[in-house]
A = this chain, B = another copy of it.
Amino acid sequence: MLYLIGLGLSHESDITVRGLEIVKKCSRVYLEAYTSILMAADISSLESFYGRPVILADRELVETGSDVILKNAKEEEDVAFLVVGDPFGATTHTDLVIRARELEIPVEVIHNASVMNAVGACGLQLYQFGQTISLVFFTDSWKPDSFYNKIMENRKIGLHTLILLDIKVKEQSIENMARGRLIYEPPRYMDIATACKQLIEIEELRGEQAYTENTPCVAVSRLGSPTQKFKAGTLKELSEYDSGEPLHTLVMLGRQVHDLELEYLYQFVDNKEKFKKDVEQDQEFFKPPPYVPPEENFSD
């Protein structure tokens, strides 16, 4: 049997009771360690919490060595594959399930919280979110902006946008890659200021006002960890915000901001009146035309 087990967001003890019971009985335990990180735990604290060894699964192992992970899982052995958040947060894990099914290995999933639902803690209602986008680190020559149209689509219909920020773990520099040297760069996690600057840069390039530097956003830092922090402000304001340790996520507000949402966000702003004004002003973008009653016919 293959168990895909979500670890939640931060602590060792964010695993579910059922998940922990399964980890303890599996013969091999893998930890997927390149699409996200647990903020208040590492592999050795997990090993001591579980009372058993944990094997780090990097991108190579998961994407090309899945048969190693799945070895003997059809009948003889139970294998646990641990994923930060929920197992269906990344396409990679869907691949692993499809491969297991091809090999007729039964699969069970133990769900957990992920940023996709826990972001509700910022006070914005989950059912008001549109499609989720990802923002990668720009380089001098590579500034992919396909997210821009998606933000535009969301905001045209009034919805909030969850913006996932780039994580670079175990990446090689181009030079080391070219020379075949297995030397890895230190991990990098995009912070809020970088994300906001990149968003403003693309708006300046495209100029279609999918958003402006005055569009209100919520910075979500270390969600679910003991040092979790929210900060609401405009893109411009947050481009100068020191968001501290990773991980971070950004939410861009849509036009449909309910009173209850706004009330909740006030606790995260510097200036309540200014923020309220910023929200009202931003609601002018993509505003549907006012209702015009059908003209009555007095012609006769």
Using a CB–CB cutoff of 8 Å, the interface residues on chain A facing chain B are 6, 8-9, 11-18, 20-21, 86, 88-89, 91, 94-95, 97-98, 101, 109, 111-114, 116-118, 120-121, 123, 125-134, 153, 157, 159, 224, 260, 263-264, 267
**A116 contacts across to B, CB distance below 8 A:** 116-117, 120, 126
Residue in B17, B94, B129, B260 whose beta carbon sits within 8 Å of that of A16 in the complex: B17
Could you tell me if A17 and B20 are in contact, using CB atoms closer than 8 angstroms? yes
Given contacts A88-B117, A91-B125, A111-B224, 5 further A-B contacts (CB under 8 A): A13-B16, A94-B123, A111-B117, A112-B113, A130-B157
Task: Say whether, besides A98-B264, A113-B6, A88 and B121 are in contact (CB < 8 Å).
Answer: yes
**A113 contacts across to B, CB distance below 8 A:** 6, 86, 111-114, 117
Complex CA gap A264/B129 in Å reads 25
What is the CB-to-nearest-CB distance from A252 to chain B, in angstroms, rounded to a whole number?
A: 15
Residue in A9, A116, A224 with the greatest tally of chain B CB atoms within 10 Å = A116
Task: Say whether, besides A18-B11, A111-B9, A157-B153, A132 and B126 are in contact (CB < 8 Å).
Answer: yes
What is the CB-to-nearest-CB distance from A193 to chain B, in angstroms, rounded to a whole number?
A: 24
Complex CA gap A13/B24 in Å reads 15
Complex CA gap A95/B109 in Å reads 32
**A12 contacts across to B, CB distance below 8 A:** 17
List the B residue with the shortest CB-CB distance to A130: B130
